[in-house]
Amino acid sequence: MEIKVQKKLATGQVRFESDFGTCEGIWNDDEPESNRKYTVEIEIPEHLTAARLALSDEKHCILEKVEEEEAVHIVGQLEDYEEDGFAVLRLEDSIICFNTKYDEQIEAMHGKFIEFEVEKIHLSKVGI
* 10, 14, 40, 54, 125 from 128: Cα distances, Å: 26, 20, 11, 36, 9
Q: Is 33 helix (H, G, I), strand (E, B) or coil?
A: coil
Are 89 and 97 in contact by the 8 Å Cβ rule? The answer is yes
Name the residue type at position 51.
Answer: A
pLDDT band at 68 (very low <50, low <70, confident <90, very high): confident
Query: Across the chain, what does the average pLDDT equal?
Result: 95
Would you list the domain boundaries of the chain?
Answer: 2-125
Pairing state of beta strands 122-125 and 21-27?
parallel
| C-alpha–C-alpha distance, residues 46 and 71, integer Å | 13
| C-alpha–C-alpha distance, residues 114 and 7, integer Å | 29
| C-alpha–C-alpha distance, residues 99 and 82, integer Å | 10
Radius of gyration of the chain (CA): 14
Check residue 11 and give its pLDDT: 79
Check residue 128 and give its pLDDT: 58
The DSSP secondary-structure symbol of 47 reads P
C-alpha 58, offset from chain centre: 16
Q: 46: alpha, beta or left, given left = phi > 0 and alpha = psi -120 to 50? A: beta
pLDDT band at 104 (very low <50, low <70, confident <90, very high): very high
Write down the pTM of the prediction. 0.94
pLDDT band at 31 (very low <50, low <70, confident <90, very high): confident
